[in-house]
Amino acid sequence: MPLLVTDAIVLHSFDYLESSRIVRLVTPDGGVRSALAKGARRSRRRFGSGLDLFAQGTASLYVKPGRDLDTLTGFEDVRGRTELAADLDRFAGAETVAEIALRFGGTGADAPLFDAIAAAFDALVVAPGADAKRTTLAGAWHIVSVLGHTPVVTRCAECGDPIPDDATALFTHSAGGVLCARCAQLSPGGRKLPGEARAAIAAWCAGGTSPALSDTSARAHQRLLREFLEYHLHDGRALRAFDLWEGAAWTAA
């Protein structure tokens, strides 16, 4: 059974039997992994605070080909990110980022996905509570882009013609982005995105930030992200963390 020693971030964990835990990790060398931490609830000596949500450190995993569950034997050099638990908006955002990664990440090596998740958590750690939802949107769209589903927002997704920066354009999930006025006439429906909304999505997908969002704009962005996930990535199961994040009261940035 080969040993994999790799950076890892805890995305989810739950108790198993009387003394153990099962954790879901994202790693740059093995993608998203499930692992059994034997005796983790009985003694914290081997794992310390490493099994706390969103903690990052060096994991030692015994991996058996063809088996879905690895064995976690150690978690060291831990960065806890306990700040995320101190604010409900930041915690809900981190849970949403983790859910997207768990639902759609693969088991192959994926350093860009690992880096995008780490960056999203780090941004939420320092984000004021009032700015947590915009920070979550930025992290989520960056992860979607890293997963290979970047929406087309600066040119027509059908014909490729450029769209002026200040123009409002129709966004359709079937096309994977916005349409020019000519191609939009052939589309059965979609959402109209003003130039500032398209610019924000483009910045987020590239790992950047955007200006503050109004309550109305933020909720519209949340709806668009949900629809995009459901059309391109979703497997039919509910996105429970996303539901809670989307339904939370919005504090204007």
Strand-pair partners of 63: none
The answer to which of 43-52, 55-64, 110-119, 203-212 has the lowest mean pLDDT is: 43-52
User: What span, in angstroms and rounded, lies between the C-alpha atoms of 193 and 252?
Assistant: 21
Q: What is the 3-state secondary structure (H, E, C) of the chain?
A: CCEEEEEEEEEEEEEECCCEEEEEEEECCCEEEEEEECCCCCCCCCCCCCCCCCCEEEEEEECCCCCCEEEEEEEEEEECCHHHHHCHHHHHHHHHHHHHHHHHCCCCCCHHHHHHHHHHHHHHHHCCHHHHHHHHHHHHHHHHHHCCCCCECCECCCCCCECCCCCCEEEECCCCEEECHHHHCCCCCCEEECHHHHHHHHHHHCCCCCCCCCHHHHHHHHHHHHHHHHHHCCCCCCCHHHHHHHHCCCCCC
Residue 238 has pLDDT above 90, yes or no: no
Is the whole-model pTM more than 0.85?
yes
pLDDT for 18: 82
CA distance 189 to 170: 8
The string of pLDDT tens digits covering residues 113-146 is: 999 999 999 999 999 888 999 999 999 999 999 9
Domains present along the chain, CATH in parentheses: 3-80 (2.40.50.140), 83-150+192-247 (1.20.1440.120)
The pLDDT, as a whole number, for residue 248 is 76
